[in-house]
């Protein structure tokens, strides 16, 4: 009997929706992290300022993710999860291919054009994870949801590693953009065989059920609080990636590290850790019978790594990369917190929740970067440790909000998802 149950579990976990969602997220992460990896090389090649223009372009990409999260989330509840999986990947694939032609585009200011293209790419990239997690969550038995979504994220996050390796092998940042766009377009063919969620199909034609209302998260106090808590749980993930990895080159001097820290390598090592952490978080949640406990202990593990890093325990470039793996593994609850967001809300607004929540977190990165840069510049006038001071202050805010929200949000382990939010 156990063998039959195991066979059925494996059949669910390696079903077409899970496989396609994992591949889709792989391409999504490849394209999402690509600018961070080629930021220095591409901006130098285009004769643009690496730090100022790099921050500007990154912020526009994140704004695109924020807007795209709302667009695709609402679309997923109104038209179906599969419509998002097709539409979003088409948008970001074409935008990435266009980024590969930037050196040849002379019809407008290069900084503005790069910002526009990454903004469009951000809009497209916003739809992939939420729609995939929603589809997988609604397709799997409730006792397998955590493992299934963790498999999607664990494999998908390896896209960042492949992106970094592709940059090294190709020797040309423009080629990596072409590869990313090409992978996305190829994936569209595979998605033809995927079926819509059965839970969603049950309400799809019911005109009496209001579907995809983004404003509904703000018209009910209980729903609003749940929504905000879901967002703040994810803040440390992009704090670690956005500050310590994307701007890793700024930490060499404050940490007295002899050598140059490569942001691209930071991203690669961090995502290796995140991928492993995402695999682990699903099984940890399954073992503890709790989403909250799994996320809480991973937050504590991450916080310990941040404390040791800013305390100067990274003495070499290689040790800094080790800490990137540490912080990556700790923030590997990414799929878990998106799953929690999907499980908190009814079928009629589940895609909107699961798609907007991670993109609200991604969209918070420009605010964290602005605060980081403001504090850093202010403290530079009196201390050479402005970078560390800024990172510590932003980190305190992110972790305090995340830990509080994790401890106080509703537990959703084994929760039945066949319900409507009125």
Q: pLDDT digit string (tens) for 118-176? A: 999 999 988 887 777 888 877 787 777 778 888 887 888 788 888 888 887 887 888 99
Which band of pLDDT confidence, cut at 50, 70 and 90, is reported for residue 415? confident
Of the ranges 103-112, 166-175, 187-196, 238-247, which one carries the lowest mean pLDDT score?
Answer: 187-196
Which band of pLDDT confidence, cut at 50, 70 and 90, is reported for residue 204? low
pLDDT at 233 over 50: yes
Question: Of 1-15, 53-67, 233-247, 381-395, where does the model show the most confidence?
Answer: 233-247
Task: Answer whether 21's CB lies under 8 Å from 132's CB.
Answer: yes
Residue 9 burial (C-beta neighbours within 10 Å; 0-12, 13-18, 19+): middle
**Per-residue pLDDT averaged across 191-208, rounded?**
65
CA of 287: how far to CAs of 284, 315, 351, 369, in Å? 5, 36, 27, 36
Which band of pLDDT confidence, cut at 50, 70 and 90, is reported for residue 194? low
pLDDT at 322 over 90: yes
- Count Cβ neighbours within 10 Å for each residue of 134-162 and write b for 16 or more, e otherwise: bbbbbbbeeebbbbbbbbbbbbbbbbbbb
pLDDT at 359 over 50: yes
Residue that has been written with the tokens 């591409």 in this structure: 42
Q: How far apart are CA 131 and CA 159, in angstroms?
A: 18
pLDDT at 3 over 60: no
Which band of pLDDT confidence, cut at 50, 70 and 90, is reported for residue 1? very low
Reported as a single tens digit per residue, the pLDDT across 80-115 is 777 777 788 889 899 999 999 988 888 788 889 999
pLDDT at 117 over 60: yes
| pTM for this model (two decimals) | 0.79
Q: How far apart are CA 289 and CA 146, in angstroms?
A: 10
Q: How far apart are CA 129 and CA 37, in angstroms?
A: 20
Which band of pLDDT confidence, cut at 50, 70 and 90, is reported for residue 2? very low
Where exactly are the structural domains of the chain? 11-189+210-408
Fold of 11-189+210-408: Growth Hormone; Chain: A; (1.20.1250)
**Per-residue pLDDT averaged across 297-319, rounded?**
93
- Higher-pLDDT residue of 36 and 318 is 318
**Per-residue pLDDT averaged across 14-43, rounded?**
83
pLDDT at 380 over 60: no
Terminal alpha carbon distance of the chain = 41
Question: Of 174-183, 199-208, 293-302, 352-361, where does the model show the most confidence?
Answer: 293-302
Mean pLDDT of the chain: 84
pLDDT at 305 over 90: yes
Q: Is the dihedral of CA 76, 80, 83, 89 positive or negative?
A: positive
- Higher-pLDDT residue of 226 and 286 is 226
Reported as a single tens digit per residue, the pLDDT across 260-274 is 888 888 888 998 898
Which band of pLDDT confidence, cut at 50, 70 and 90, is reported for residue 382? very low
Which band of pLDDT confidence, cut at 50, 70 and 90, is reported for residue 235? very high
Which band of pLDDT confidence, cut at 50, 70 and 90, is reported for residue 295? very high
Task: Answer whether 161's CB lies under 8 Å from 142's CB.
Answer: no
Q: How far apart are CA 176 and CA 30, in angstroms?
A: 9
Give percent of the chain above pLDDT 90.
21
Which band of pLDDT confidence, cut at 50, 70 and 90, is reported for residue 302? very high
**Per-residue pLDDT averaged across 339-360, rounded?**
85
**Per-residue pLDDT averaged across 326-335, rounded?**
91
Q: How far apart are CA 213 and CA 223, in angstroms?
A: 12
- Higher-pLDDT residue of 379 and 228 is 228
């Amino acid at each position: 009997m156990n063998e039959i149950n195991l066979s059925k579990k494996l059949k669910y976990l390696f079903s077409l929706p899970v496989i396609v969602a994992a591949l889709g997220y792989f391409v999504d992460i490849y394209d999402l992290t690509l600018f961070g990896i080629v930021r220095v090389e591409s901006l130098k090649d285009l004769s643009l300022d690496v730090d100022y223009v790099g921050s500007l372009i990154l912020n526009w990409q994140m704004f695109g993710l924020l807007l795209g999260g709302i667009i695709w989330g609402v679309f997923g509840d109104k038209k179906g999860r599969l419509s998002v999986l097709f539409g979003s990947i088409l948008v970001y694939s074409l935008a990435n291919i266009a980024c590969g032609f930037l050196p040849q585009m002379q019809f407008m200011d290069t900084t503005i054009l790069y910002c526009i293209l990454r903004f469009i790419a951000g809009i497209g990239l916003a739809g992939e994870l939420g729609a995939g997690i929603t589809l997988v969550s609604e397709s799997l038995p409730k006792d397998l949801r955590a493992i299934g979504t963790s498999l999607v994220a664990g494999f998908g996050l390896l896209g960042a590693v492949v992106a970094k390796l592709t940059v090294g092998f190709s020797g040309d940042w423009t080629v990596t953009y072409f590869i990313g766009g090409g992978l996305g377009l190829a994936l569209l063919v595979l998605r033809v065989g995927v079926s819509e969620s059965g839970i969603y199909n049950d309400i799809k034609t019911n005109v009496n059920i209001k579907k995809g209302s983004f404003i509904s998260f703000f018209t009910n106090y209980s729903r609003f609080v749940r929504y905000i808590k879901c967002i703040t749980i994810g803040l440390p993930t992009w704090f670690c990636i956005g500050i310590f990895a994307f701007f890793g080159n700024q930490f060499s001097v404050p940490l007295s590290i002899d050598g140059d820290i490569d942001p691209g390598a930071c991203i690669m090592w961090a995502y290796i850790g995140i991928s492993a952490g995402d695999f682990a978080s699903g099984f940890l949640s399954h073992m503890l019978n709790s989403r909250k406990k799994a996320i809480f202990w991973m937050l504590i593990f991450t916080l310990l790594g941040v404390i040791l890093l800013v305390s100067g325990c990274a003495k070499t470039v290689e040790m800094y990369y080790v800490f990137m793996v540490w912080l990556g593994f700790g923030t590997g609850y990414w799929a878990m917190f998106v799953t929690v967001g999907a499980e908190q809300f009814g079928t009629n607004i589940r895609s909107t929740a699961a798609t907007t929540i991670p993109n609200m977190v991604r969209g918070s990165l420009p605010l964290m970067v602005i605060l980081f840069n403001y504090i850093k510049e202010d403290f530079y006038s009196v201390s050479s440790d402005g970078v560390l001071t800024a990172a510590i202050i932003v980190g305190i805010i992110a972790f305090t909000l995340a830990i509080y929200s994790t401890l106080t949000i509703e537990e959703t382990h084994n929760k039945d998802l066949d319900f409507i939010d009125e």
